[in-house]
Amino acid sequence: MNIPGSGLAKGLAVTLRTLTRRTQTVQYPDAQPELAPRTRGVIGLFEENCTVCMLCARECPDWCIYIDSHKETVPPAAPGGRERSRNVLDRFAIDFALCMYCGICIEVCPFDALFWSPEFEYAETDILDLTHERDRLREWMWTVPEPPALDPAAEEPKEVAAARKTAEKMAAAQAAQAAQAAQAAQEAQAEQETKEAKEDGA
């Protein structure tokens, strides 16, 4: 049986409950939202790492990554070596009007050239301006957060271990060279002293 006014009482109870709860909304743009560390806002390009392998453009489900490049011949590193050719990036652009923020391009890039930035304030009045060219994609790089610290018990990353071993080998080779040079100098000095002593004796 419906008691008259019970609906109103229920409604007021809900209002009172809601009034005492912590608010879930923020007054954007006056207050900035607290974003999760792995927020997908916009994609940054670190073009020094890009080898123009085209994997990201091929795997993008929306075909919204545009890459142009040309080949350049690199002279051999040592005399008698072979010339090599390398790709040089001419254009790298992402059309954020088409992008669906799936993150596949970032996942597949084998050279760590693409990163998520949490920045999201890049709305435009002209849809064409949502195609960000390489300079703008680079600017986003400076807003990419630091990666989280590794677990202290984690295995050393392969590339860090390889770089450390190479640095240790180079330091050992340099130390051996310096020791050889010092020994040669000592021997030369001893030889010189012996020669001088013989001359004095004669």
Which residue numbers belong to the known binding site? 50, 53, 56, 60, 99, 102, 105, 109
Between CA 4 and CA 11, with CA 7 as vertex, the angle to 5 degrees is 145
Our finding on whether 104 is near ligand SF4 (CB under 6 A) is yes
Q: Which residue has the tokens 């799936």?
A: 102
3-class state of residue 183 by DSSP: helix
CB 72 within 8 A of CB 86: yes
CB atoms near residue 111 (< 10 Å):
13
User: Min. distance of Cβ 85 from ligand SF4 in angstroms?
Assistant: 16
Binding residues for [4Fe-4S] cluster, by number, are: 50, 53, 56, 60, 99, 102, 105, 109
Our finding on whether 99 is near ligand SF4 (CB under 6 A) is yes
Task: Give, as one character, the DSSP assignment of residue 16.
Answer: H
- Work out which of 64, 93, 137, 144 binds ligand SF4, going by CB under 6 A: 64
- Work out which of 55, 131, 138, 139 binds ligand SF4, going by CB under 6 A: 55
Q: Which residue has the tokens 């073009």?
A: 47
Neighbour order of strands in the sheet with 65-74: 65-74, 84-95, 131-132
Our finding on whether 141 is near ligand SF4 (CB under 6 A) is no
If you write DSSP's letter for every residue of 138-181 in order, what string do you get? Answer: HHHHTTPPPPPPPPTTSPPPHHHHHHHHHHHHHHHHHHHHHHHH
- The count of residues interacting with ligand SF4 (CB under 6 A) is 25
- Work out which of 54, 175, 182, 188 binds ligand SF4, going by CB under 6 A: 54
From the list 13-21, 110-118, 124-132, 193-201, the region that binds ligand SF4 by CB under 6 A is: 110-118
User: Min. distance of Cβ 63 from ligand SF4 in angstroms?
Assistant: 8
Give the residues lining the site for ligand SF4 (CB under 6 A). Answer: 50-56, 60-62, 64-65, 67, 94, 99-105, 109, 111, 113-114
